[in-house]
Protein backbone atom coordinates (compact mmCIF):
# COMPACT_ATOMS: atom_id res chain seq x y z
CA UNK A 1 0.00 0.00 0.00
CA UNK A 2 2.77 2.46 0.96
CA UNK A 3 4.57 2.07 -2.36
CA UNK A 4 1.43 2.66 -4.40
CA UNK A 5 0.37 5.67 -2.35
CA UNK A 6 3.84 7.19 -2.63
CA UNK A 7 3.68 6.82 -6.40
CA UNK A 8 0.10 8.08 -6.68
CA UNK A 9 0.76 11.18 -4.57
CA UNK A 10 3.94 11.95 -6.51
CA UNK A 11 2.18 11.59 -9.84
CA UNK A 12 -0.80 13.66 -8.65
CA UNK A 13 1.68 16.47 -7.93
CA UNK A 14 3.29 15.90 -11.34
CA UNK A 15 6.68 15.37 -9.71
CA UNK A 16 9.45 13.05 -10.82
CA UNK A 17 11.25 10.57 -8.61
CA UNK A 18 14.33 12.77 -8.95
CA UNK A 19 12.47 15.82 -7.65
CA UNK A 20 11.16 13.99 -4.59
CA UNK A 21 14.57 12.44 -3.95
CA UNK A 22 16.12 15.91 -4.07
CA UNK A 23 13.52 17.20 -1.62
CA UNK A 24 14.35 14.30 0.72
CA UNK A 25 18.11 14.75 0.10
CA UNK A 26 18.59 11.15 -0.93
CA UNK A 27 19.76 9.58 -4.20
CA UNK A 28 17.06 9.05 -6.84
CA UNK A 29 17.85 5.33 -6.90
CA UNK A 30 17.16 5.10 -3.16
CA UNK A 31 13.78 6.79 -3.60
CA UNK A 32 13.04 4.55 -6.58
CA UNK A 33 13.76 1.51 -4.40
CA UNK A 34 11.33 2.79 -1.76
CA UNK A 35 8.62 3.40 -4.33
CA UNK A 36 9.12 -0.03 -5.88
CA UNK A 37 9.11 -1.82 -2.52
CA UNK A 38 12.72 -2.98 -2.74
CA UNK A 39 13.75 -1.12 0.44
CA UNK A 40 11.84 -0.26 3.60
CA UNK A 41 11.01 3.41 3.99
CA UNK A 42 12.67 4.89 7.10
CA UNK A 43 10.39 6.68 9.56
CA UNK A 44 12.01 10.06 8.90
CA UNK A 45 11.31 9.70 5.16
CA UNK A 46 7.74 8.59 5.84
CA UNK A 47 7.17 11.64 8.05
CA UNK A 48 8.78 13.98 5.52
CA UNK A 49 6.54 12.64 2.75
CA UNK A 50 3.42 13.01 4.90
CA UNK A 51 4.39 16.62 5.64
CA UNK A 52 5.17 17.37 2.00
CA UNK A 53 1.90 15.91 0.71
CA UNK A 54 -0.14 17.35 3.62
CA UNK A 55 -1.44 13.95 4.63
CA UNK A 56 -0.93 11.52 7.49
CA UNK A 57 1.50 8.67 7.86
CA UNK A 58 -1.55 6.48 8.51
CA UNK A 59 -2.82 7.32 5.02
CA UNK A 60 0.55 6.53 3.45
CA UNK A 61 0.68 3.23 5.32
CA UNK A 62 -2.86 2.26 4.31
CA UNK A 63 -4.25 2.39 7.85
CA UNK A 64 -6.91 4.86 6.68
CA UNK A 65 -8.37 5.86 3.35
CA UNK A 66 -8.81 9.45 4.50
CA UNK A 67 -5.94 11.52 3.06
CA UNK A 68 -6.72 14.54 5.27
CA UNK A 69 -3.98 15.36 7.74
CA UNK A 70 -4.74 14.85 11.41
CA UNK A 71 -6.23 17.88 13.20
CA UNK A 72 -3.89 20.16 15.07
**pLDDT tens per residue, range 24-50:** 999 999 999 999 999 999 999 999 999
Q: Percentage of residues in the chain with pLDDT exceeding 90?
A: 92
DSSP state of 13: T
Please state, in angstroms and rounded to a whole number, the distance separating the CA atoms of residues 1 and 29.
20
Please state, in angstroms and rounded to a whole number, the distance separating the CA atoms of residues 2 and 39.
12
pTM (2 d.p.) = 0.92
**CATH topology for 2-61?**
434 Repressor (Amino-terminal Domain) (1.10.260)
Amino acid sequence: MLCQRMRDLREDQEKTQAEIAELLRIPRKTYCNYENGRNNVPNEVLCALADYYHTSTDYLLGRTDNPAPPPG
